[in-house]
Amino acid sequence: MIIPIRIPAVRGRQADREYFVVIIPLGLIPKLFYYNEELLPPELRSQRALNEKRIPEIADYILENDDWVFSSVSATVNGAMEFVPCSEETPDLGMLNIDMNATIIINDGQHRRAGILEAMKQDPDLANETISVVLHRFESINRSNQMFADLNRYAEKPSKSLNLLYDTRDPLSGAVNRMLEQIEFFDVYTERERTSLPPRSPRLFTLSSLYEANRRLLRMTKRKLREFSDNEVQTMVEFWQGVYEHMPLWGMVHRGELRPRDLREQYICSHSVSVQAIGVVGSYLLDEPDWRECLGGLERIDWSRENEDWMGIAILDNGRVVNSNTALNLTSLYIRKELGLPLSASDQNKLARVSR
């Protein structure tokens, strides 16, 4: 006689099919659930491959935070499965009996599974933590694959700006939000949810572009991020306040003399590539005792799209402002040159190759 696996469960119904929600210890995950392993029969394996880079990221998330959280894993049971209600009064609350020989295949949550297994190698006590699992009856591999597609069809990843707005684990994210609170201009003209601005947007910047600009300004590394302090916040505030004071076009918008959309259409000084490039330039300026005075050079730069100097640097032949690493590097070199900062022979050659 084969003794079944017995798990407390809640029964539900969708599209005239039963499903069951169970809570299991993390330590049971490698014993109960499969995903493309050699032990899984070939006909039950999907062709979806794991993104190996995500596994250590998920493991680190678990290990480095004491308030980590995961949504439910979804799986199908290929084998006998019977639900026994606790009573007539609670017909959807009971015990789920699963054949010991059944194969439980993950449809959605394979990266969470792999990350959890990796984390447990470093912290075996995690085996006692639990996760919720939604179980479906296996019908066919086509149905299993369709479930994966359906579960991810309407899953929309939050924008980077929105993640930064709500992320309290990243000290730089919190610092950028504090910077906005202290500089009225950036507070008013920063889009905090989208990563791009609609044509009629009343904003000039996105939170994500300012985050990247400050990451470059402070030359932020993982180590520096762990040692982040209020001094860095103050540096950010002083630097960007100084930039604002030497950006007449920004001041015109703030005073209502120029519409944000007109600034974006006619000039490049609020585009992400320029804002990030200013952050890069700032990382060099901060090494100089007179960096505040050096910012005055920003007023001499012609930020107009009509300025042919930008062609091949920040603007393509079709007139489109480009936001790439190459454009960012060239734009920062151009700004450094205009501010009178020294450039290496290699950097001068880079600018010379694109100059007209």
Domain coordinates in residue numbering, the chain: 5-153, 160-354
Span 50-76, mean pLDDT? 86
- Looking at the whole model, is its pTM more than 0.85? no
Average the pLDDT over 128-153 and give the result: 82
- Find the range with the poorest average confidence among 68-72, 88-92, 107-111: 107-111
Q: What is the pLDDT of residues 195-221, one digit of tens each?
A: 889 888 999 999 999 999 999 999 988
170-208 CB burial, b ≥16 within 10 A, e <16: ebbbebbbebbeebebbeebbbbebbebeeeeebbbbbb
Closest CA to 208 of 259, 157, 152: 157
pLDDT digits (tens, 9 = 90+) for 171-180: 888 899 999 9
Instruction: Record the tokens describing residue 16, joined without a space.
Output: 């005239």
Residues forming beta bridges with residue 130, ordered by sequence position = 25
The rounded distance, in Å, linking the Cα atoms of 258 and 251 is: 9
For 31-60, write each residue's pLDDT tens digit: 787 654 444 554 455 445 677 888 888 898
- Pick the residue with more confidence: 49 or 356? 49
Give the SS3 label for residue 81: strand
Q: Report the C-alpha gap between 9 and 21 in whole angstroms.
A: 5
Tell whether the model's pLDDT for residue 298 goes beyond 90: yes
Smallest CA-to-CA distance from 77 within 4, 27, 2, 152 is with 4
In this prediction, residue 2 carries a pLDDT of: 58
Residues facing 190 on adjacent strands:
205
| Residue 285 and residue 295 in contact, taking contact as beta carbons nearer than 8 Å | yes
C-alpha distance from residue 17 to each of 1, 14, 55, 83, 134 (Å):
29, 5, 32, 13, 13
Residue 246 dihedral angles phi and psi, to the nearest 5°: -110, 20
Contacts of 21 (CB under 8 A, 6+ apart): 9, 10, 12, 72, 132, 133, 134, 135
Other CB atoms within 10 A of residue 124 CB: 10
